[in-house]
Chain A
Amino acid sequence: MPLPPLVQPAEALSVDEIRRYSRHLIIPDVATAGQKRLKNARVLCVGAGGLGSPAMMYLAAAGVGTLGIVDFDTVDESNLQRQVIHGQSDVGRSKAESAAASIREINPLVQVVIHNTALDRDNVFEIFRGYDLIVDGTDNFATRYLVNDAAVLLGKPYVWGSIYRFDGQASVFWAGEPANGPCYRCLYPEPPPPGMVPSCAEGGVLGVLCASIGSIQVTEAIKLLTGVGEPLVGRLMVYDALEMSYRTITVRKDPQCVLCGPNATQTELLADYEDFCGAVSEEAVSATLGATITATELKEWQDAGKDLFLVDVREPAEYEIVRIPNSVLIPKGEVVSGEALARLPQDRQIVLYCKSGVRSAEALAAVKAAGFRDAVHVQGGVLGWVRLVDPSLPAY
């Protein structure tokens, strides 16, 4: 179903703008009227990371008049493999500032608004209200549900995209009028159980996948702003880079959706999205109480010759990148399923670690439940070890 343009046209294009946007102006479906709508458009990108990078660069080049950036993070070297809006000299700089500088270089006619803050339930409405359209490029479930809920409650459309390894998904969620489409909760009513779905930081992502999905998001944004074509409302685009296939599947509005269904029960934002998505399960939290050591303490134990059985619960590829000396690899899945428990010695101090301390907490719960009551895990994981004990090792 074609939808009316989201934005009214600006009054006029300047001579500079006509020169710059001439390849748009000669497309009949965009033309001067469409370009004037882009000029008047206000688009917010949530996250200046993998998806946000190509999204903002192309939205800026396309002549979107106002681009907002929400990001609280700073540029890390491990971002540069895919977050192409940032460069080597930006390492350590605020992502929002770095992205803003790139946008100004791509197109100085764009008004950039920097929101150098974490999006949360207290600021999301105020920030969203200033924009016609939102592009969701966040990297965690808690923020994705927050973005969805705020957009639905405000009746605003947003372009959603998500990536992992070689897989990508994208859609336009617009539950309000006139689209009356499904929302994220119609597709994924509840977040997955904590620890079940790895993040890109844990599982990796092919850098160029960001461009594949980010460019779909920009395409949909431009279509919505200018009112051309068939928007990706009620459809999910599923991209498989290994197969090199794009499949579009239908997603209908869920009549039982708690947020946008006819009998919706959720009429405001949740009190705590981190809690809703359970960053770490309750079992893991209670397992770690009194059973958490720092990387420095681990080093002291090793230096004192304590009889340790140090288990790395990450995946083999991560173990190849960097590891704590004298550790053995037993991926978390094998610990939690119970198949690796027989490999754990009864008479030695068991110490678990992962990348940052989340997976090892989950594994610790399983190990303690199996009777290894003295087992501990390392706070901050191998990243903590790199930071506190051996900065010559690579962080990832």
Chain B
Amino acid sequence: MPTVRFFAGARAAAGVAEEQVPPGLTLAELAATLASRHGERLGTVLGAAAFLVDGQAWHDRHTPLPAGATIDVLPPFAGG
């Protein structure tokens, strides 16, 4: 099963650091699943976050994610 790891604001909104998700989801389905599990606040964060699948940017929202993938959810922030 794919593992999702939440960072920074996504970690705070999800309330967990990581969790497993059902296999075969697309990125769009994953975002919807996570928002329904954890609430709209996470849904908002996901709208701006970068998704790294096994370390690489994942652009395709409609192809199933690889089984066993690690998906890192990274909200951007630009403070300095």
- Is the CB of B1 closer than 8 A to any CB of chain A? no
- The segment from A11-19, A102-110, A117-125, A137-145 that touches chain B is A137-145
- Contact between B59 and A193 (Cβ–Cβ < 8 Å)? no
CB distance from B12 to the nearest CB of A (A): 8
- Is the CB of B8 closer than 8 A to any CB of chain A? yes
- The segment from A35-43, A48-56, A297-305 that touches chain B is A48-56
- Contact between B76 and A139 (Cβ–Cβ < 8 Å)? no
The one of B17, B75, B80 in contact with A197, judged by C-beta atoms closer than 8 angstroms, is B75
- Is the CB of B74 closer than 8 A to any CB of chain A? yes
Are A187 and B78 also in contact (CB < 8 A) when A167-B8, A238-B7 are?
no
- Contact between A140 and B78 (Cβ–Cβ < 8 Å)? yes
Q: A187 vs B52: C-alpha distance in the bound complex, in angstroms?
A: 8
Are A196 and B72 also in contact (CB < 8 A) when A163-B79, A249-B55, A250-B55 are?
no
- Contact between B80 and A51 (Cβ–Cβ < 8 Å)? yes
- Contact between A238 and B8 (Cβ–Cβ < 8 Å)? yes
- Is the CB of A162 closer than 8 A to any CB of chain B? yes
Q: A49 vs B77: C-alpha distance in the bound complex, in angstroms?
A: 16
Residues of B within 8 A of A136 (CB): 80
- Is the CB of A247 closer than 8 A to any CB of chain B? yes
- Is the CB of A240 closer than 8 A to any CB of chain B? yes
Question: Which positions 228-251 of chain A face chain B at CB distance < 8 Å?
Answer: 236, 238, 240, 243, 247, 249-251
Question: Which positions 262-308 of chain A face chain B at CB distance < 8 Å?
Answer: none
Q: How many residues of A contact B (CB 8 A)?
A: 46
Residues of A within 8 A of B17 (CB): 243
Are A144 and B78 also in contact (CB < 8 A) when A164-B8, A196-B47 are?
yes
Are A187 and B79 also in contact (CB < 8 A) when A192-B48, A238-B7 are?
no
Residues of B within 8 A of A66 (CB): none
CB distance from B27 to the nearest CB of A (A): 14
- Contact between A196 and B48 (Cβ–Cβ < 8 Å)? yes
Are A167 and B9 also in contact (CB < 8 A) when A186-B57, A192-B48, A196-B47 are?
yes
CB distance from B33 to the nearest CB of A (A): 21
Question: Which positions 46-61 of chain B face chain A at CB distance < 8 Å?
Answer: 47-48, 50, 52, 54-57, 59
Question: Which positions 1-57 of chain B face chain A at CB distance < 8 Å?
Answer: 5, 7-9, 11, 17, 40, 44, 47-48, 50, 52, 54-57
- Contact between A50 and B52 (Cβ–Cβ < 8 Å)? no
Residues of B within 8 A of A196 (CB): 44, 47-48
- Contact between B55 and A49 (Cβ–Cβ < 8 Å)? no
- Is the CB of A331 closer than 8 A to any CB of chain B? no
- Contact between B55 and A251 (Cβ–Cβ < 8 Å)? yes
Are A141 and B76 also in contact (CB < 8 A) when A251-B52, A251-B55, A254-B56 are?
yes
Q: A196 vs B48: C-alpha distance in the bound complex, in angstroms?
A: 7
- Is the CB of A252 closer than 8 A to any CB of chain B? yes
- Contact between B77 and A162 (Cβ–Cβ < 8 Å)? yes
Specify which of A137, A250, A337 lies most central, judged by the most chain B CB atoms within 10 Å of its CB: A250
The one of A49, A140, A187, A254 in contact with B74, judged by C-beta atoms closer than 8 angstroms, is A187
CB distance from A249 to the nearest CB of B (A): 5
- Is the CB of A205 closer than 8 A to any CB of chain B? yes
Question: Which positions 130-169 of chain A face chain B at CB distance < 8 Å?
Answer: 136-141, 144, 161-164, 167, 169
CB distance from B67 to the nearest CB of A (A): 19
- Which 3 A/B pairs are nearest by Cβ-Cβ distance? A250-B55, A200-B79, A192-B48
B-to-A contact residues, CB < 8 Å: 5, 7-9, 11, 17, 40, 44, 47-48, 50, 52, 54-57, 59, 72, 74-80
Beyond A136-B80, A191-B76, A337-B40: 7 further Cβ-contacts under 8 Å? A163-B79, A196-B48, A197-B78, A200-B80, A238-B74, A256-B59, A257-B57
